[in-house]
Chains A and B, each alone.
Chain A
Amino acid sequence: MSTPRLSLGPLQYYWPRARVTAFYEQMAQVPLDVIYLGETVCARRHELRAADWLALADDLASSGKQIVLSTQVLLESEADVKALRQLADNGRYLVEANDMGAVRLLQRRTSFVAGASLNVFNGESLRLLAGLGAMRWVVAPEIGAERLAAIQTERPAGVQTEVFAYGRLPLAYSARCFTARHFKLQKDVCEFRCIGFEDGLRLRTREGDPFLVLNGIQTQSDRVQNLIDELPSIQKIGVDMLRLTPQARHMCQIVHLYRGVLDGAICASQALIEMRELMPAERCNGFWHGKPGLLQQAA
């Protein structure tokens, strides 16, 4: 059982350009193995354009980390498809395909990462994608340990498995923008209001319980999935990589704590105590245990 490597998933939120740059300068310094870059949520967001993300990739590549460019999850217009082609043809960096359209542009030409939104639920789908060039696949968060273990037994040799270990869960995508809707704005004149919410816009039930987070066209869980104390089951089923998803504050400390636990320098229960102050919301791990995702089960 080898120790999983650590990746940083793509930034889900819309931050000002200077903040994005500063964030990744920090990330270059922390013990991550892989960094995923790019705008995966909304094509209207433009603080960084495709060329800027590529330039950022060049800057970060010198840190020795593997850089992967992530594609947009929901492709609606030809402009979206054009942007996808640019990414697929970048010629320098591995691409994470988050739509079958992306797979079509990458297949049999270059190896790629099969993103979680491709919905790989069984060995047959995994073999298909591996045959087309997938060198790694990201497990859909709703697939728990037991179901993943079954897929792992059918995994083709050489394909790495990456699990969403930390962050608010990406739960849904829509053509509608719920942040714009909140401000009674139309999507095409949204005034980019999502830039005002560094960790998304919190949605509560009518009795005040935090439930979901609105992030433009994406809906996230309010609770933060955190599998830091699940390492034994993660290693047992041969997971190669743990994905940490960016949050506005304390991301460096989160990475260090994961690294510390993976290296055996700190125990998971101690890391969890330290994380209490570092997480934007309560934690959950229900999906990993085959339960409703919002639950927190004993590891």
Chain B
Amino acid sequence: MINPQKVELVCPAGSLPALRAAVDNGADCVYVGFRDQTNARNFAGLNFDDRALSEGIRYAHAAAAQVFVALNTYPQSANWPKWTRAVDRAADLGVDAAIMADPGLMAYAARTHRQLRLHLSVQGSATNHEAINFYHEHFDIRRAVLPRVLAMPQIRHVIAHTPVQIEVFGFGGLCVMVEGRCALSAYATGVSPNSDGACSPAKAVRWEQTSRGMEVRLNNVLIDRFAQGERAGYPTLCKGRFDVDEKSYYAFEEPASLNALELLPELVRTGVRAIKIEGRQRSPAYVAEVTRIWRQALDGCLADLDGFQVQSAWMSALSRLSEGHSYTLGAYDRPWK
């Protein structure tokens, strides 16, 4: 096998300390968001103002790392200027790429900031080469992040039919639904990932100890009920237990995180150009540890693709970070297919 092409490690940062942690531990790129609903991790206390972003870019560039800004929610006509200002700020601060989902906003960015490199966000729901090439033709996107629904052969097929670089998720939280096409949270809580940048928001969560067990609700809808000693997870709507035909079970998916570490050589062979780590809402310590392990793994993999072996120390360290969550290979492997 010839030397594989470079594959970038793209790591999350919800704060300047997290960005530094990612850079210090070997991230090729760090992705961040502004402190508002212009990005899909619009959580209180998270994200960057202009000063923090400027410092973050300086820090990353000094270490030859890149900074991407996620502007990956869908602006409304009424609040449109907030998003275009965010694009302007990102361009003026000198980010290395903007990650977007809204076609209108991409048109604005392509027209107004010709030098600004555009990536298609996972929120853009592009799962096929025709869709990706649409964004390429119209907005000259250089990279697309694939929704977490495709299997390996499908990823290979997409890569063979587009000039756009393909980025895939390697590790972290896992959407069960196609990103950008899920209104479950909006239906139950009024808070929409597409327009508000949040899903199953904490302000709608209510825990209550009852005689039937610990109950957790989202805007009054019972998402799960836990028996004594059962691990009670965050009530993300699609990770709850419901009754179907009088059976109580995880109707969509068991709560599990994605860990595609063992698929790394296959992803590299497929021609994937970047691996994304989910988790802008996680702590700097988490970002540091996950980045360190994935850096080692990716370096090992690129140096010796055929001889690559997952080290058990990596897996146990990643498992410790998952707080009892189990891991899945997600759609790449499709155990449910």
Contact = CB atoms under 8 A, between A and B. Distances in A.
A171 B189 CA distance: 13
A153 B129 CA distance: 33
B207 interface: no
A181 B176 CA distance: 13
Most buried by A among B102, B178, B334: B178
B221 A75 contact: no
B38 interface: no
A154 B104 CA distance: 12
A92 interface: no
B245 interface: yes
Chain A interface main SS type: mixed
B181 A173 contact: yes
Interface string A88-105: 000000000001111111
Interface in A100-159: 100-105, 107, 117, 119, 121-129, 140-142, 147, 150-151, 153-154
Nearest to A132: B138
A78 B127 CA distance: 11
Contact of A206 (B131, B180, B224): B224
B183 A171 contact: yes
B154 interface: yes
Nearest to A126: B104
A296 B164 CA distance: 45
A45 interface: no
A195 interface: no
A28 B244 CA distance: 35
A205 B222 contact: yes
A105 B242 contact: no
A208 B222 CA distance: 10
A122 B77 CA distance: 5
B306 interface: no
A121 B106 CA distance: 13
A107 B238 CA distance: 35
B315 interface: no
A3 interface: no
Contacts of A290: 190
Interface string A165-197: 000010111111110111000111000000000
A74 interface: yes
A54 B23 CA distance: 55
Contacts of A121: 74-77, 102, 104, 194-195
Nearest to A225: B187
A3 to B, nearest CB: 25
Contacts of A19: none
B78 A173 contact: no
Most buried by B among A81, A117, A180: A81
Contact of A119 (B125, B128, B248, B331): B125
A242 interface: no
A127 B184 CA distance: 28
A74 B150 CA distance: 11
A172 B184 contact: yes
Nearest to A80: B128
Contacts of A172: 177-178, 181-184, 238
Given A122-B80, A153-B77, A201-B244, A76 B221 contact: no
B135 A100 contact: yes
A287 B184 CA distance: 12
A66 B334 CA distance: 40
A203 B190 contact: no
B244 A202 contact: yes
Contact of A76 (B149, B192, B224): B149
A18 B13 CA distance: 55
A147 B77 contact: yes
B51 interface: no
Contacts of A212: 184, 242
Contact of B186 (A142, A153, A208, A211): A142
A205 B195 contact: no
B241 interface: yes
Interface in A76-90: 76-78, 80-81, 84
A122 B102 contact: yes
B188 interface: yes
A141 B181 contact: no
Interface in A201-247: 201-209, 211-212, 214, 219, 221
Contacts of B134: 100-101, 103-104, 107
A293 interface: yes
B130 interface: yes
A20 B242 CA distance: 31
Contacts of A75: 127-128, 130-131
A249 interface: no
B128 A151 contact: no
Contact of A124 (B108, B131, B149, B252): B108
Contacts of A124: 80, 103-105, 107-108
Nearest to A286: B190
11 contacts: A99-B130, A99-B131, A122-B77, A128-B103, A147-B77, A174-B178, A175-B149, A187-B334, A202-B244, A290-B190, A291-B190
Given A81-B128, A122-B102, A172-B183, 4 more contacts: A105-B130, A117-B181, A121-B104, A292-B219
The 5 tightest CB contacts between A and B, nearest first, are A124-B104, A101-B130, A175-B149, A125-B104, A150-B77
Interface of B: 74-78, 80, 101-105, 107-108, 124-131, 133-135, 137-138, 149-151, 154, 157, 176-178, 180-184, 186-190, 192, 194-195, 219, 221-225, 238, 241-245, 247-248, 251-253, 331, 334, 336-337
